[in-house]
Structure 1
Amino acid sequence: MERQALANKIEHIYEIMRAEGLSILDYVEQLSWMLFLKILSDREEERKLTAELKGEKYRPVIKEEYLFHNWPRRFDAPSLKKVKDVRAFYEFISTELWPYLGSLGGSDELNKIGEIFSNVSLKIHDPHNLLEIFQSIEDIRTDEEDTHIMSQLYEETLMLMGREGGAAGEYYTPRPIVRFMVKVVDPEIGETVFDPFCGSGGFLVEAYNHAYEKAKSVEDLKKLEESFYGQELKPQAYLIASMNTLLHGVNAKLTKTDTFSEDLHSPGELYKIILTNPPFGGKIKESNLQNLPVRTRSTELAALQYVMRKVKPGGRVGIVLPDGVLSNVTKSYIKVRKELLERNNVFAVVSLPQGVFANISPKGGTGPKTSLLFFERGKPTREIWYYELVPPNGKNYTRANPIKDEDLSDALDKFEAWRKYLETGDEEWKKKALSENSWVVGIDKIKERDYDLSARNPNRKLTIEYPAPEEIIASLEEKERGISELLNEIKAVLGEKP
């Protein structure tokens, strides 16, 4: 099917959902489980054909009567377009199929199906609308060509969802940021890649694409099949990540769980690569505090501790963090940063301008001021390469003016020179890594300032700049959080509950 025809079909489905009063996040969620069933059915058809060609017995993942391509038979129709009993179709989906799928378990594939359908709900309430949507989906092929187009359309919807802000933005990291982080960390064939807060699965998809380009043999492709892992707590995000990775051909092993429920004093499986954007501004549950080596209510500081302990020795981490984690003066923050620098080589920090993450600000505005932190586990930090990203043409990033891949090209060029320096020790490469927007800071300097890792560009002239009102508000909110953390520490010393 041509891209425009497929795009029109998806837009028609969204129009039906819009008439049901659904939000864009609902569009993605509802389309995800519907496409999931279609793709599952088509894959089962392929498995059945393969088994027959080999003379083997075919065993479907779910009961054959519940596979998408067998639905019309239930209504004595050659296709869903010929189904006349709309009410009976709706009852089949809502009261028979859904409970069956939600009860599945016993294998990785069945567990995934069971988790999806026991944690999301059917939000299309008009029987005619539900049938019309499935009639449109029936026409979509899941061969290589249509799947490729569908994956692009799905990604565009996720991008639109991210720009809507609020809850939708929690699941979406701007793809230029994701691609930049993947290039810096540079996953190799055979290295396990893990995102403990996977949202829509963007890091896993881009890491797969990056590694796939290096594949040169069938053996390499087999290794890729076993290399990608993710965790997500929220049912909607788990479903979206499942669909997004499936459409992009990533055989990701996803788990629906609270990442902070793992005891970091004795962490389980470790991974060679961790790429993630943890939840900002959240609170750790009381029952999970004991799992953290340094107790904190801050989800960001807890996430930093988590990735420090879940990456293998010699493994690499790229993590998005609000600037407060890099500079907060409370004891818990300083202690975590000190451990980070003593046990890991923090080789790069990229400071992002306000507005890059406007899409995840629940109150609107420019969103949190963030930085990208990169480190390798197993050896102490000696010096850190910093880069300060400045929006081109003097325009601030907003939802309407999002960051683009080309905006990060200079940062990537300078980092590649820094990578060469780290590999060779050649001072000429180090010189090429420096510019008006990039500089290097030694560990002694960082120790002098209480392990403050925030970016302080020494090349920038001191000028008086008046921030926008929303930037002032964001700054005040960050300071308020810092004060709250400090008060909690004081109360803890005095024996009071925070």
Structure 2
Amino acid sequence: MAPKKKSQAPATPQARLKAVINSARQIMRKDAGLNGDLDRIPQLAWLLFLKAFDGLEMEREITEDDFSKAIEEPYRWRDWAADRINGLTGNELLQFVNDDLFPYLRDLKGNAERDPRDVLAAVFKETHNRMDSGYLLSDVIEQVNKVDFTSSEDIHTMAFLYESMLREMRDAAGDSGEFYTPRPVIRFMVQMIDPRLGEIVLDPACGTGGFLVEALEHLHPQVNTVAERNDLAFDLRGIEKKPLPYLLGTMNLLLHGLARPNLMKSNALSQPLTEIKRADRVDVILTNPPFGGEEERAILANFPAGAQTAETAWLFMQLVQRMLDQGGRCGIVVPNGVLFADGAGARIKKDLLTNCDLHTVVRLGSGVFAPYTDIPSNLLFFEKTGPTKEVWFYEIPTPDDRKKYSKTRPMKFGEFADCIEWWGGADRRGRVETERAWQVDASAIAESGWNLDLKNPNRPDDLTHRPPAELVAELIDTEREIIGLLEELESEVGSVQ
């Protein structure tokens, strides 16, 4: 009697889709036109984008009485990519994609606000097919067709896998001061800002859309009607100037259920501050703007003469203040240098504390943004409700078993638990000084030259966030003491001889 074959448990959706994505990436490794993940992931992204968009269009055809096609035949995914038996392949496929499909998508024009055709045109304006082999492209398309974007289970799982690919691409790039913001940091900032349904939430440097996706998930339980869902899609807004992050961010929001992501492909710094109107202002800003980069002179001219600096972090610090409506709230990531900088930086901080209530500075340890940088970063939380009276500082310590975070041992959301408990809810009442928390009057900050890089008085041995000048001066004093002791010892030894 032949032994029974062991029945294999059906693969989980995550395992099945991961296998599909891995197969597609293995196929792309054979193509001469692609060099590494910086080419492969964007290539896979636009294919997934068109497949997902077509799935949403098919759903809208059924659910919307006044449905109007965004993409006409024969440019829909179902027309040229879904049928691999009778579909295009080889040179015919390449020619269609390069000479017909992409020019068509780039020339689309909408006739209403947030028309999907305008989104498609913006996404594909600077997106290109990077594969040289039409046969390999056909094989990749066959893998993409295994993803069912009309299945809520597949969409949820694909969103998870997509975010892992975004991390990989950021690991491969990680330059120009543009760092992938770890999900625990995003989640903490969103929870502390606590956006509410009906508020406009903006990320003026949205990248791949991490803050907007987290805000969407935070707000989703508050949605009860289709109208509220549509309003939420309109109220979650992002601006991104680079084509690839814009495509990835749009795709990210599509995968999380927003059929019409409200993203703008533009440089948020390109508009003069004086021209930002009341109608342009928003209720909530959540962002991690690029820092360490530089902007062209034309951009600097949009800012006050005394605050024109090429450092992008300082420009965004000014922008978010102006874009907040009265009573609005902001959470922003800044590098350590922002806290202790003088000159133009001090003037910008003075404006911040004069015009807004900088109520909390959360200080992160080294390596939170590994592998991109080990520079300590800070989370600034402020409201446009009047001048600052006092600033609370809170340090998030690294775990006891390490000196800093790393790519392989990243920060976890649970490490914010003590800070969340200390925060004091929406009104921030009941805060007390602890080993990790302390309060400083705004007047003392003004007297220090608007320095926010203040030593924790409850942890005198802490060196992580002390000003560099203070550390250098202390080191010099120590060296002088050592030299003095050596000279005394030399004198004693000489006298004995």
- Normalising TM by the smaller chain, what interval? 0.7 to 0.9
Contact between 2:392 and 2:437, CA under 8 Å: does it hold in 1?
A: yes
CA separation in 2, counterparts of 1:134 and 1:87?
A: 15
In structure 2, relative to structure 1, the CA distance for the partners of 1:33 and 1:319 (3 Å cut) is same
Matches within 5 A, 1:391-402: 391-395=398-402, 396-402=404-410
Shift of 1:249: 1.6
Shift of 1:386: 0.8
Shift of 1:201: 0.5
CA separation in 2, counterparts of 1:276 and 1:360?
A: 17
Match of 2:479 in 1: none
Bigger helix fraction: 1
What one-letter code is carried by the residue in structure 1 that aligns with 2:61? K
CA separation in 1, counterparts of 2:53 and 2:92?
A: 23
Contact between 2:109 and 2:117, CA under 8 Å: does it hold in 1?
A: yes
Match of 2:364 in 1: 352
Match of 2:147 among 140, 143, 158: 140
Cα deviation digits, residues 236-267 of structure 1 (max 9, x gap): 11111110111112343111111111110121
Match of 1:119 in 2: 126
Of the structure 1 ranges 196-205 and 241-250, higher mean CA displacement relative to structure 2 is found in: 241-250
Of the structure 1 ranges 121-130 and 15-24, higher mean CA displacement relative to structure 2 is found in: 15-24
Shift of 1:403: 1.2
Alignment pair present for 1:94 and 2:101: no
CA separation in 2, counterparts of 1:380 and 1:354?
A: 31
Match of 2:169 among 148, 153, 161: 161
Match of 2:293 among 282, 290, 305: 282
Shift of 1:202: 0.3
CA separation in 1, counterparts of 2:56 and 2:428?
A: 48
Match of 1:2 in 2: 13
Match of 2:332 in 1: 319
What one-letter code is carried by the residue in structure 1 that aligns with 2:442? I
CA separation in 2, counterparts of 1:26 and 1:168?
A: 18
Match of 1:304 among 317, 330, 342: 317
Cα deviation digits, residues 394-441 of structure 1 (max 9, x gap): 411112221111122222221136x5444xxxxxx123xx32111111
In structure 2, relative to structure 1, the CA distance for the partners of 1:464 and 1:314 (3 Å cut) is closer
Contact between 1:322 and 1:371, CA under 8 Å: does it hold in 2?
A: yes
Secondary structure of 1:358 counterpart: coil
In structure 2, relative to structure 1, the CA distance for the partners of 1:68 and 1:169 (3 Å cut) is farther
Contact between 2:359 and 2:392, CA under 8 Å: does it hold in 1?
A: yes
Contact between 2:180 and 2:369, CA under 8 Å: does it hold in 1?
A: no
In structure 2, relative to structure 1, the CA distance for the partners of 1:4 and 1:240 (3 Å cut) is same
Match of 1:262 among 255, 271, 289: 271
Match of 1:430 in 2: 431
Contact between 1:316 and 1:375, CA under 8 Å: does it hold in 2?
A: yes
Larger Rg: 2
CA separation in 1, counterparts of 2:445 and 2:409?
A: 34
Contact between 1:89 and 1:127, CA under 8 Å: does it hold in 2?
A: yes
Secondary structure of 1:373 counterpart: strand
Contact between 1:161 and 1:169, CA under 8 Å: does it hold in 2?
A: no
Shift of 1:17: 2.4
In structure 2, relative to structure 1, the CA distance for the partners of 1:161 and 1:411 (3 Å cut) is farther
In structure 2, relative to structure 1, the CA distance for the partners of 1:86 and 1:288 (3 Å cut) is same
Shift of 1:115: 1.9
Match of 2:488 in 1: none
Contact between 1:80 and 1:138, CA under 8 Å: does it hold in 2?
A: no
Alignment pair present for 1:12 and 2:23: yes
Secondary structure of 2:273 counterpart: coil
Contact between 2:106 and 2:122, CA under 8 Å: does it hold in 1?
A: yes
In structure 2, relative to structure 1, the CA distance for the partners of 1:393 and 1:24 (3 Å cut) is farther
Shift of 1:329: 1.7
Match of 2:50 in 1: 37
Match of 2:490 in 1: none
Contact between 2:199 and 2:283, CA under 8 Å: does it hold in 1?
A: yes
Task: Give ranges in structure 1 of 5+ residues lacking alignment.
Answer: 73-77, 423-428, 477-498
Match of 2:255 in 1: 247
What one-letter code is carried by the residue in structure 2 that aligns with 1:71? W
Alignment pair present for 1:373 and 2:385: no
Cα deviation digits, residues 144-201 of structure 1 (max 9, x gap): 1111111011112223333445249826211111111111111001100001100110
Tell me the TM-score normalised to structure 2 length.
0.84
Contact between 1:179 and 1:206, CA under 8 Å: does it hold in 2?
A: yes
Task: Give ranges in structure 2 of 5+ residues lacking alignment.
Answer: 1-11, 473-497
Secondary structure of 1:199 counterpart: coil
Of the structure 1 ranges 194-203 and 110-119, higher mean CA displacement relative to structure 2 is found in: 110-119
Shift of 1:102: 1.6
CA separation in 1, counterparts of 2:51 and 2:283?
A: 34
Secondary structure of 1:226 counterpart: helix
Tell me the TM-score normalised to structure 1 length.
0.84
Shift of 1:84: 7.0
CA separation in 1, counterparts of 2:147 and 2:254?
A: 15
CA separation in 2, counterparts of 1:462 and 1:59?
A: 65
CA separation in 1, counterparts of 2:393 and 2:197?
A: 28
In structure 2, relative to structure 1, the CA distance for the partners of 1:47 and 1:213 (3 Å cut) is closer
Match of 1:176 in 2: 184
CA separation in 2, counterparts of 1:351 and 1:463?
A: 12
How many residue pairs match? The answer is 446
Contact between 1:171 and 1:237, CA under 8 Å: does it hold in 2?
A: no
Match of 2:77 in 1: 68
Q: CA-atom RMSD, angstroms?
A: 2.4
- Indicate the percent of aligned positions where both proteins have the same amino acid: 34
